[in-house]
Amino acid sequence: METGRVYRFPVTDGKHLYHYTVKVQKQHSIEMMDGSRRKAWKLRFDAVEGGAGAGAPSVVCLAGR
Sheet of 17-31: strand order equals: 6-12, 17-31, 37-49, 58-64
pLDDT band with cut points at 50, 70 and 90 for residue 32: very high
Count of domains forming the chain: 1
- What is the reported pTM? 0.60
Rounded to whole angstroms, the Cα distance separating 29 from 61 reads 11
Q: Are 59 and 42 in contact (CB under 8 A)?
A: yes
Domain housing 37: 6-64
Residues 6+ apart with CB under 8 A from 29: 37, 38, 39, 40
Query: Which among 64, 36, 45, 40 has a CA at the least distance from the CA of 7?
Result: 45
**Looking at residue 64, what is its pLDDT?**
57
> Is residue 1 over pLDDT 60?
yes
Say if 52 falls within a structural domain.
yes
Of the two residues 28 and 54, the one the predictor is more confident about is 28
Say if 1 falls within a structural domain.
no
